Amino acid sequence: MALQAGIVGLPNVGKSTLFNAVSNSAKAQASNYRFCTIDPNVGLVDVPDARLNKLAELVQPNRVVPTQIEIVDIAGLVRGASKGEGLGNKFLGNIREVDAIIHVIRCFEDENVLREEGAINPVSDKEIIDTELQLKDLESVEKKLSRAEKMAKTDPKAKVELDILQRCKTHLEQGKSIRSLGLDKDEQAAIADLFLLTSKPVLYVANVDEASMHTGNKYSEMLKEAVKNEDAQVIIMNNNVEAQISELENKEDQQMFMEEYGMKEPALDRLIHSAYKLLTLQTYFTAGVQEVRAWTIHEGWKAPQAASVIHTDFEKGFIKAEVISYDDFVKFGSEAAAREAGRLRIEGKEYIVKDGDVMHFRFNV
């Protein structure tokens, strides 16, 4: 499941440094100049999950496989990007392809790090990006609106679409993002072909200095205040420190490094978990001697859909699913013990998979 979260922000706010910290499979050049990144970097990120480690401890498999999401490092946007400034059309196109946005905002002072927007101001930085995305969406909506107006004269379906587009246009003209418009699922589906940039869920990263890693600072507080009505989360972290932790392969070295900074866990773990939830994803597990593995699905998926991420044949030939809740698996210590205690359930095609289910599928092709 190649669901992607894209890292965006102004130039030189720490996007590529963050990408390098989270990515297992690729590294981006991080330099102190404009448009260091041009083509997007794409990396796979393991989703930390203590439950996977616990299941592996109980089962003792030959291998353990975490679930992953894709993170995309997109070049810095600048004022005027919606009109093509700074290769804006190319970069906005990159954003259009991702499923969620991680917006990195500079919340630190450092005269050695290039900045084009004057004094540090996380609120105006956020608004620059918001405005460029909104203007690009307005352009897309207006193009489709002109077609819908003609079709609405004879097509009732087009008339409904026209109403949605007109509401979107008004909302964008007011400087508001589509995700705050409150469209229901059917309305979202009606304009899904536009891939509107401001309809994507957003997670904010306040990139602070080392002194502010644990408490935040006046800049991160300004950002929190600015987004308090967006139902959005703000993660406070120092991207450089997180990148240094990720470069240490030995877990004991990582632990010693974090202790020096008074950290219980990498802030990256919180970021990855938040991005995972932002994409409305959840995890189920398969657990056997060969492997214990975490699998990514969307919230609300039924058992056959969940089986399809293992292999499409599992969905086509789905018969039943054997299900043990994670808590029961841990409580009884094994599949056999849970079965004997009557805690293994047989579920059919309508079963909605729960986060943490340990599953085995019966299928026939």
Place of tokens 């060969």: 290
Please indicate if the annotation marks 218 as binding a ligand: no
Q: Tell me if 15 is assigned to a ligand binding site.
A: yes
Give me the residue label for tokens 């995309």: 72
The answer to whether the annotation marks 239 as part of a ligand binding site is no
Token pair 């609300």 in the structure block, residue: 300
144 annotated ligand-binding residue: no
Query: What are the C-alpha distances in Å from 275 to residues 11, 27, 232?
Result: 22, 19, 11
Q: In angstroms, rounded to a whole number, what is the distance separating the alpha carbons of residues 16 and 29?
A: 7
Task: List, edge to edge, every strand of the sheet that includes 318-324.
Answer: 63-65, 291-298, 281-287, 358-363, 318-324, 345-347
Give the helix/strand (H/E) hosting 269: helix 267-278
In whole angstroms, what separates CA 363 from the centre of its chain? 32
Answer whether 209's CB lies under 8 Å from 182's CB.
no
Amino acid code (one letter) for 198:
T
Q: Which residues are annotated as a binding site for ATP?
A: 12-17
Q: Which residues are annotated as a binding site?
A: 12-17
